[in-house]
Amino acid sequence: MIDLIVVNGTIATNAGTFKADIGIDNGRIVQIGGTPPAARRTLSAAGLLVLPGGVDVHTHLDAPSLDMMTADDFRSGTIAAACGGTTSLIDFCQQTPGGTLADGIANWNGKAEGKAAIDYGYHMLIPDFSDRIAAELETLPEKGITSFKLFMSGKGGAMVDDQALVTAMEMAKRCGAMVMVHAENGDAIDHLQRKYLREGKTAPKYHAESRPARAEAEATARAIALAEMTGAPLYVVHVTCAEALEEVVRGKLRGAQVLAETCTQYLFLTKDSLDQPGFEGAKYVFSPPARTAKDKSALWLALRHNILETVSSDHSSTRFHDQKQGGRDDFTKIPNGLPGIEERFVMLYQGVVEGRITIEQFVDLACSRPARTFGLAPRKGTIAVGSDADIVLFDADAERIIRNRDLHHAVDYSAYEGMKVRGRVVSVLLRGEVIVDNGEFCGEPGYGRFLPRARLEA
Ligand SMILES: [Zn+2]
């Protein structure tokens, strides 16, 4: 007698779509198809797609943003993620400037434990790189953290120079980890920001004007070149534009070990969002900024041609009505970031609805490849015997309009407000437990477990 059987659904994996029942025992998938075993409970998936739980590898929960904290902590953020069909995330665990990486991890454990409703791992975000920190990098893989993020922008803050990048890459290569970069040319951006402010150009739209696509493309090309020199793998977070994509493709063709992601917002928004009446544009201040319709098309094509590993949310939520207001007179003082942890899965699914990607590619991008890229496979990101029973029952035909009031995050807007979408997350299982039932969270904060990640193969 096994714990649970999910019956009459259509399973979609990154390798194909088929009808079969799924047997679940002790939190894992023990059978797919064949003679249904006796089970204590039966869950009907009739008329629904049965998908692997989503894997969002780029979130910032309970994280500092300028001099405040993000609106979502691990409780509200992971509940929103679950309701949106995501069962695992990798959050950016931050070093406190001046502190050790070990302190940063202890701090993040304190934020996540007892609150996380879904499983989670960490990337290490390093805003204050030094020789001491470089030496400490080597200790991260044994703690299950195999990726370190450095910033090529943020002059006077988190920005590192090329020497620091090379040092981190050499260390990553040595210890089975990967460097992630925020690729924008920080010197050029700093110059443009000062220039606009001097000219009295303080509105949100100058956020995008001061961060041109070429600044992203240049930094992307430079990071790839440094990765090639060191022989280290590189992951470029949030690629936003055709110019940066070109550099990723050129690097791949030369044999560089460069991987990259984009995020939901770059597939659906343009920089025009920043130029709205009043201060509305502040809702769309995130870095790098949204680009043009042409760039959106290029990103969708990159997904179709399997050039990007995943579409993450980069969920970094600050409230519009108070937190974002600090930048009313100066666009550089608007906290960067937007919510999207709950919307990511269904928004990417619109690519299937619109014929831009196949259902198999959707599963690959939302679930399987991010898990594989970051050492969570085969436990996460797929429906296979032996994998964790992280499963989403998805009504592919349901139509709805995205409304912030229906979402579960702790922030006062959605960047996709009013958009008509097809597809609805009906139920979600995490390790065999139902955590979302009929679209509503019914799990338990604290049920989520830390996911130590495997070392990357050199
Ligand atoms: Zn981010």
Residues 309-323, mean pLDDT to the nearest whole number: 97
Q: Please tell me the distance between residue 289's alpha carbon and the centre of ligand 1 in angstroms.
A: 12
pLDDT digits (tens, 9 = 90+) for 391-449: 999 999 999 999 999 999 999 999 999 999 999 999 999 999 999 999 999 999 999 99
Compute the average pLDDT of residues 283-302: 98
Q: How far is residue 380's CA from residue 6's CA, in Å, rounded to a whole number?
A: 18
SS3 (DSSP) at 68: strand
Instruction: Tell me, in angstroms, the distance from the centre of ligand 1 to residue 319's CA.
Output: 17
| Arithmetic mean of pLDDT, 30-52 | 97
DSSP tag of 338: B
Q: How far apart are the CA of 113 and the centre of ligand 1, in A?
A: 21
Q: Tell me whether residue 157 is exposed, middle or buried, using C-beta atoms within 10 angstroms of its C-beta: 0 to 12, 13 to 18, 19 or more.
A: exposed
User: Which tens digits make up the pLDDT trace of 212-231?
Assistant: 999 999 999 999 999 999 99
What domains appear along the chain, each with residue ranges and CATH number? 2-51+384-441 (2.30.40.10), 54-373 (3.20.20.140)
Separation of alpha carbons 356 and 378, rounded Å: 27
Cβ density class 84-109: b for 16+ within 10 Å, e for less:
bbbbbbbbbbbbeeeeebeebbeebe
Confidence (pLDDT) at 11: 98
| Å from CA of 152 to ligand 1 middle | 13
How far, in Å, from the CA of 312 to the mean position of ligand 1?
9
Q: Report the DSSP beta bridge partners of residue 44.
A: 7
Is the predicted pLDDT of residue 458 greater than 60, yes or no?
A: no
For the chain, the average pLDDT equals 97
pLDDT tens for each residue of 3-25:
999 999 999 999 999 999 999 99
Provide the angle, in degrees to the nearest 10, between the axes of the packed helices 186-198 and 213-230: 160
Q: What is the pLDDT of residue 456?
A: 82
pLDDT at 390: 98
- Please tell me the distance from the alpha carbon of residue 204 to that of residue 244, in angstroms, as a whole number: 23
Q: How much is the pLDDT for 457?
A: 67
pLDDT confidence tier of residue 155, bands split at 50, 70 and 90 = very high
- Determine the distance separating the centroid of ligand 1 and the alpha carbon of 1, expressed in angstroms: 44
- C-alpha span between 305 and 365 (Å, rounded): 12
| 39 Cα to the center of ligand 1, angstroms | 42
Structure tokens at 56: 């969002």
- 282, with CB counted inside 10 A (0-12, 13-18, 19+), is buried
CA of 21 to the centre of ligand 1 (A): 38
Name the DSSP class of 88. E
Structure tokens at 113: 């434990």
Interatomic CA distance for residues 186 and 54, integer angstroms: 33
Q: d(Cα 49, Cα 155) in Å, to the nearest integer? A: 47
Q: How far is the CA of 26 from the centre of ligand 1 (A)?
A: 34
Q: What is the whole-number distance in angstroms between the Cα of residue 27 and the centre of ligand 1?
A: 31
> Would the pLDDT of 359 be above 80?
yes
**204: which DSSP letter?**
T
If you measure from the C-alpha of residue 330 to the centroid of ligand 1, how many angstroms do you get, rounded to a whole number? 22
Asked whether residue 125 carries a pLDDT value surpassing 60, the answer given is yes
Cα of first residue to Cα of last residue in the chain, in angstroms, is 43
- Span 178-191, pLDDT tens digits: 999 999 999 999 99
- State in Å: Cα 92 to ligand 1 middle: 8
Q: 375 CA to middle of ligand 1, Å?
A: 19
